Amino acid sequence: PLRIGNLLTSVLLKRGLKLGTNTLLTVPGRKSGLPRTTPVTIIEYGGERYVQSPFGEVDWVRNLRAAGTATLTRGRRAETVQAIELSSEQAAPVLKHALTLAPAMIRAYFDVTVDSSIEEVIREAPRHPTFELVTASVPSSRP
């Protein structure tokens, strides 16, 4: 079901449909160098943008770590970002905030809740890599 949902979300985002804060994240594969694209949810917190993996150390996380940069795309709009991985202490407030926004299906991947203490979320954070996204180039429209 998750794979089908990702495929459907990707198709809609490529067409420029706005689906909340979802966007397409494209990162070169760490082994192949070929572009790999997956839909992700951008978390806005404290005036900054973040992306985190509810599912742990999946391929896009490993690729993003290796590349350090990515392209965010929705429709014709593309933006290059630098990705800075956060420590558990830095990630915890972002994760706690993300839990307030996440659907139950996603919250089920966490061993903490919105009511958990920040210390509990800090202990959970290594299971959910979190990156701050900083604009590396001005957003543009693709032809």
Average pLDDT, the chain: 89
Q: Which amino acid is at 98?
A: A
pLDDT of residue 43: 95
Per-residue pLDDT tens digits for 38-51 = 999 999 999 999 99
What does the block give as tokens for 73? 């795309």
* pLDDT value of residue 51: 97
Report which of 79, 83, 72 is spatially closest to residue 138, judged by C-alpha positions. Answer: 79
Confidence label for 133 from pLDDT (cuts 50, 70 and 90) = very high
Non-local CB neighbours of 25 within 8 Å, separated by 6+ positions:
37, 38, 39, 40, 51, 60, 64, 70, 71, 72
The answer to whether the CB of 67 falls within 8 A of the CB of 73 is no
Q: Is the pTM of the predicted complex or chain greater than 0.85?
A: yes
Confidence at residue 135, expressed as pLDDT on a 0 to 100 scale:
93
Cβ-Cβ contacts under 8 Å for 83 (sequence gap 6 or more) = 51, 64, 67, 68, 69, 70, 131, 132, 133, 134
Residue-wise pLDDT tens digits, 10-39: 666 677 667 677 899 999 999 999 999 999
Select the more confidently predicted residue: 2 or 34. Answer: 34
Positive/negative CA dihedral, 104, 107, 108, 114? negative
